[in-house]
Structure 1
């Protein structure tokens, strides 16, 4: 069986920047083990699989080791493929995730805007264990549905963090988001997810469902600029809209081809 595959750099307008995701449009769902094997073979932070369902698309996301509940950059990449390579007519694509509910991506020129549910946030009393795996302890810890949000004082502190990825697996969460006020953006972040097979994710759209409501409450505004400080870097604009968050950026195609299964 031949399956089309695309690789897209998301949250950037420069090839070799942002976060690369694989996208596999399917006629019908493959067995879970096959999709997991494809994601492992791709060895990218995420591989998205999409299946047309009437006027919508069902979507699922796999890291090299597990299926995840939500992935922003691979959803952005999927929308890029549907708009630009598969000739989707219209400027809004509605996705269905059986783990995260309805999602949409709207196209405005080269900008693609994700519409995702806002994370639920709870401040956690500080424990010494929160410093495990990081070279500096955070000043504030927020617990989301699947991640910890560790807050620091400055962009320089975020850049200087030296994570011990094996030690970070001890935290009982999908990943650790570290964040601080930005020097040229409203906030900056990094994302560490060794427990789900991704040591440091280049640009993490889903993390901004946590970051956006947090920084909106701190800064007193709903429209925010963000930068993820990975080696590849990525730029996003975020807009808090009640119980939803709009996460926008650009994307660029890296490759297209087909795989044999």
Structure 2
């Protein structure tokens, strides 16, 4: 038996940019060990596994995400990739509750995610950060956020990944206000504990960034740019305990998985 597998570049409108994600469509249940093995084989930062084929086509579809090394509770870019493969508008049941995705035109898909406003951390910056001008530190449910003085510092980062892995949380988000371009802020995200040295464009991190920059800039509608080598943009709309993340995606590969 074979299953359909896709490679999708998320948070981008052109191939070979944004964040690549695997999407595997499952006609029935497969055990987590198998999904983990497939994610390790595909080697993308995350692979989404969607159980399709329910009798009720309006039913929310079960969705799980795996890095090459572990299952994760929330992944924005792989959710966007899965919704893109399935036609844009879709509901998913996940470890983070029900997630809704809606096509909004022009290839954009908007995802309704739980907000993750970070708590500010006072005191001396933790040991392990690269040499940057730290202007603020916050801690979300899983991610450490570090605001630095300028976008140039974010773009120039060459962190010690082993040192970052010693810091609390799932990973580290570096961010700075952008005053010269269309975006409101820039960011880069590093997850060495998860087997991801740097994630190209990170939807779940923008659930943290939305709360941070909404408070700092005094508005709920924002545009974030993740300035990794591949790069990508995320539209943000913070609404209480939820945040709507908007992005586009491109399918670059479709095939069959025989395993």
Consecutive unaligned residues of structure 1, counting only runs of 5 or more, are 84-90
Q: How many residues align?
A: 252
Secondary structure of 1:139's aligned partner: strand
- Deviating beyond 6 angstroms after TM superposition, the runs of 4 or more aligned structure 1 residues are none
Deviations 1:124-147 (A, max 9, x none): 12334x240423252211010010
**Counterpart residue number, 1:118:** 115
Root mean square deviation of aligned Cα: 1.3
Task: Show the 5 A alignment for 1:178-257.
Answer: 178-182=174-178, 183-184=180-181, 185-257=183-255
**Counterpart residue number, 1:58:** 62
Equivalent-residue separation in structure 2 for 1:228 and 1:75 (angstroms):
17
Q: Is the 8 Å Cα contact of residues 117 and 210 (structure 2) preserved in structure 1?
A: no
Equivalent-residue separation in structure 2 for 1:138 and 1:69 (angstroms):
29
After TM superposition, the score normalised by the length of structure 1 is 0.93
After TM superposition, the score normalised by the length of structure 2 is 0.94
**Counterpart residue number, 1:79:** 83
Equivalent-residue separation in structure 2 for 1:137 and 1:152 (angstroms):
5
Q: Is the 8 Å Cα contact of residues 144 and 168 (structure 2) preserved in structure 1?
A: no
Equivalent-residue separation in structure 2 for 1:253 and 1:135 (angstroms):
38
**Counterpart residue number, 2:89:** 92
**Counterpart residue number, 2:148:** 152
Equivalent-residue separation in structure 2 for 1:131 and 1:177 (angstroms):
15
1:68 corresponds to which of 36, 59, 72: 72
